[in-house]
Amino acid sequence: MQRWLDQLGAVRGRSPKTVEAYRHDVAGYLGFLNGHRGGPVGKAGLGEVTTSEMRSWIASLRGDDLSARSAARALSAVRSFHRWLAEAEGIDATAVIATRSPKIKASLPRPLAPDAAKALIAEAGQTPTDWIAARDMAVLTLLYACGLRISEALSLRQSDAPLPDMLRITGKGGKERLVPVLPVAREAVEQYRALHPHAPNAESPLFLGVRGGALNASTVQKTVANLRARLGLPATATPHALRHSFATHLLEAGGDLRAIQTLLGHASLSSTQVYTALDQARLMDVYDAARPKRR
């Protein structure tokens, strides 16, 4: 198992978090097989896994209230493990690879309205002389103005500032992309840098916590939860919703789908096309509301 995990990171470029998630999923699967068969499965036993056992394992995941999406991710990890076993050890993986994934109900992104996105960012910076407020405003501005994931914003270093016109971002799977930086985002970051009391070196994180260490994503999520409560925004107003808002508002303004795909760093266009469905749904709502027969 460790050999498989090592090649996931070294050869296939999976992120440490993805590797750890795969470790967790496959360990749970192996534990299920041990319990199901009443003892350690062993290498040879992995080549004897049946379709019935796979269905029982997936049913056990769903019985533990795991979502269909999470169960599908666990199955993807197990398939990857068995494919590697087939290549490296010659162990039969037919039943595992043939197992169908749980059906996942398609869900549309939930962006904020333009006014709500702006209000959320403005509320974060209500105390202009407070470096924490300036930091929070700078982070949220980057998420909305550049379409960054929260992990991407928090991975920036002090050496990245002042932010250039085009920012090189390393996203999921180590994939790099260039993202234009709006003046408002650059100014928000500079205001924060001018106020924070710490003296970090060039390789320190750009966004710092209260004690001078790296800012944690959970801190940003808690901050946004407090902001949306003050503004009366729904629970869907999260840091990631600002990335959805970036893409949706670009598309509504006539942005090219391929360009938006590049800006978001999506490997597949299908990932970006969900925003077109969202736009069509909004248009249908407007149409239905305007139809005389509807009234």
**Residues labelled as active-site residues:** 149, 172, 240, 243, 266, 275
C-alpha 101, offset from chain centre: 21
Residue 43, C-beta contacts closer than 8 angstroms, at least 6 positions apart: 85, 89, 91
